[in-house]
Amino acid sequence: MSTLPMDDFAVANLSRRGFLKGLGVTAGALVIAANWGWRDAFAEEKKSYGADGMPNGWRDDPKVFLSIAADGVVTFVCSRSEMGQGVRTSLAMVVADELEADWAFMRVIQAPGDEQRFGNQDTDGSRSMRHWYEPMRRCGAAARAMLEQAAANRWQIPVGECQAREHRVVHQPSGRSLGFGELAEAASQLDVPPRDSLKLKSPEQFRFIGKESTRAIDGADIVNGRAVYGLDPRFEGMLYAVVARPPVYGGKVVRYDDSATLKVPGVVKVIEIAGSPLPSEYQPLGGVAVVARNTWAAIKGREALKVEWNDGPNAAYESRAYRDSLSKAAHAPGKVVRDLGNVQAVFDQASQVLEAEYYIPHLAQAPMEPPVATAIVNDGTCEVWAPTQAPQVTRERLADRLGIPFDKVTVNVTLLGGGFGRKSKPDFVIEAALLAKEFPGTHLRVQWTREDDLHCSYFHTVSVEYLRAALGKEGRPEAWLHRSVAPSISALFGPDPKHESPIELGMGVLNLPFAIPNLRLENPEAAAHTRVGWFRSVSNIPHAFAIQSFIAELAASAGVDHKAYLLQLLGPDRKIDPRSLGDEWNHGESPELYPIDTARLRGVIEKATQEAGWGKKQEKGRGLGLAVHYSFVTYVAAVLDVEVKDDGALLVHRATIAVDCGPQINPERIRSQMEGACVMGIGNAALGEISFANGRVQQDNLHMFEVARMPLAPKDIAVHLVRPAGEVPLGGVGEPGVPPIAPALCNAIFNATGKRIRDLPIRAQLKDWRSA
Where on the chain is the footprint of other proteins (CB under 8 A)? 2-4, 82-86, 215-216, 218-220, 222-229, 231-232, 234, 240, 265, 294-296, 299, 366-370, 415-420, 447, 449-451, 668, 672-673, 675-680, 683, 701-703, 707-711, 713-717
**Cβ atoms of residues 179 and 168 within 8 Å:** yes
CB nearer other proteins, residue 402 or residue 685? 685
Smaller CB distance to other proteins: residue 539 or 672?
A: 672
Q: Residue 292 in contact with residue 266, Cβ under 8 Å?
A: yes
Q: Which is nearer to other proteins, 98 or 689 (CB)?
A: 689
Q: Kindly tell me which of 138 and 669 has the beta carbon lying closer to other proteins.
A: 669
656: enclosing H helix or E strand: strand 650-660
Q: How far is the CB of 415 from other proteins (least distance, A)?
A: 7
Least distance (Å) between residue 14 CB and other proteins: 24
Distances in whole angstroms, Cα of residue 490 to Cα of each of 13, 121, 279: 41, 21, 10
Q: How far apart are the first and last CA of the chain?
A: 63
Whole-number Å distance between alpha carbons of 385 and 436: 12
CA-wise closest residue to 575 among 725, 735, 740: 725
Q: Kindly state the smallest distance separating residue 631's Cβ from other proteins, in Å.
A: 18
Whether the CB-CB separation of 371 and 393 falls below 8 Å is answered with no
- Please name the residues in contact with 195: beta carbons below 8 A apart, sequence gap of 6 or more: 60, 138, 142
Q: Taking the complex as a whole, how short is the minimal distance between the CB of residue 670 and other proteins, in angstroms?
A: 12
Closest approach, Cβ 390 to other proteins, in A, equals 17
Q: Using the minimum distance from each CB to other proteins, give the nearer residue, 449 or 511.
A: 449
Euclidean distance between CA atoms 673 and 586, whole angstroms: 22
By beta-carbon proximity to other proteins, the closer residue of 369 and 522 is: 369
Scanning 372-477, the segments in alpha helix (DSSP H) are 391-402, 427-436, 450-455
* CB of 223 vs other proteins, minimal distance in Å: 4
Q: Which of 553, 771, 556 is nearest to 648 (CA)?
A: 771
**Quick one: 265 or 313, whose CB is closer to other proteins?**
265
How many residues in total does the chain contain? 772
Q: Which amino acid is at 42?
A: F
Smaller CB separation from other proteins, 91 or 528: 91
Report, in Å, the least distance between residue 3 CB and other proteins: 5
Measured CA distances, 466 to 126, 334, 358, 542 (Å): 28, 12, 6, 11
Q: Which is nearer to other proteins, 245 or 482 (CB)?
A: 245
Smallest separation, CB 734 to other proteins (Å): 10
Sequence-distant (6+) residues with CB within 8 A of 734 are 85, 126, 128, 536, 632, 673, 677
Between CA 280 and CA 262 the distance in angstroms is 30
Distances, alpha carbon 41 to alpha carbons 35, 454, 491, 621, in Å: 11, 30, 16, 47
- Is residue 227 classed exposed, middle or buried when 0-12, 13-18 and 19+ CB atoms within 10 A define those classes? middle
Nearest distance from residue 229's CB to other proteins, in Å? 6
Smallest separation, CB 676 to other proteins (Å):
4
Integer angstrom CA distances of residue 82 from 93, 217, 355, 766: 15, 11, 43, 38
Considering the complex, what minimum distance in angstroms separates the CB of residue 245 from other proteins? Answer: 16
CA distance 536 to 688: 14
Residue (225 or 495) nearer to other proteins, CB = 225
CB of 178 to other proteins, least distance (A): 33
User: What is the nearest approach in angstroms of other proteins to the Cβ of residue 534?
Assistant: 15
Please report how close the Cβ of residue 99 comes to other proteins at its closest, in angstroms.
Answer: 23
DSSP-derived secondary structure for 309-355: EE-GGGTT--HHHHHHHHHHHHTS--EEEEEES-HHHHHHH-SEEEE
Torsion region of 107: left, alpha or beta (phi above 0 gives left; psi -120 to 50 gives alpha): beta
Cβ 375 to other proteins shortest distance, Å: 17
In the complex, least distance from residue 26 CB atom to other proteins, rounded to whole angstroms: 29
**Nearer residue to other proteins within complex by CB, 3 or 202:** 3
Nearer to other proteins, 42 or 296 (CB): 296
Nearer to other proteins by Cβ, of 294 and 310: the residue is: 294
Dihedral pair phi/psi, residue 116, rounded to 5°: -60, -40
CA distance 178 to 222: 34
Q: Give the Cα separation of 498 and 487 in Å (integer).
A: 6
Q: What are the two backbone dihedrals, phi and then psi, of residue 719, each rounded to the nearest 5 degrees? A: -105, 125
Q: What is the distance between the alpha carbons of residues 730 and 716, in angstroms, rounded to a whole number?
A: 27
Minimum CB separation of residue 4 from other proteins in Å reads 6
**Secondary structure letter of residue 551 according to DSSP:** H
Query: At 218, is the secondary structure helix, strand, or coil?
Result: coil
Contact present, 761 and 360 (Cβ < 8 Å): no
Query: Which one, 334 or 417, has the nearer CB to other proteins?
Result: 417
* CA atoms in the 13 A half-sphere facing the CB of 414: 28
Q: Is 515 exposed, middle or buried (0-12, 13-18, 19+ CB in 10 A)?
A: middle
Ramachandran angles phi, psi of 401, nearest 5°: -75, -35
What minimum distance in Å lies between the beta carbon of 767 and other proteins? 20
How far apart CA 639 and CA 212 sit, in angstroms, is 25
- Judged by CB, which is closer to other proteins: 409, or 659? 659
User: Closer to other proteins at the Cβ: 232 or 643?
Assistant: 232
Q: Which is nearer to other proteins, 420 or 439 (CB)?
A: 420
Q: Which is nearer to other proteins, 326 or 717 (CB)?
A: 717
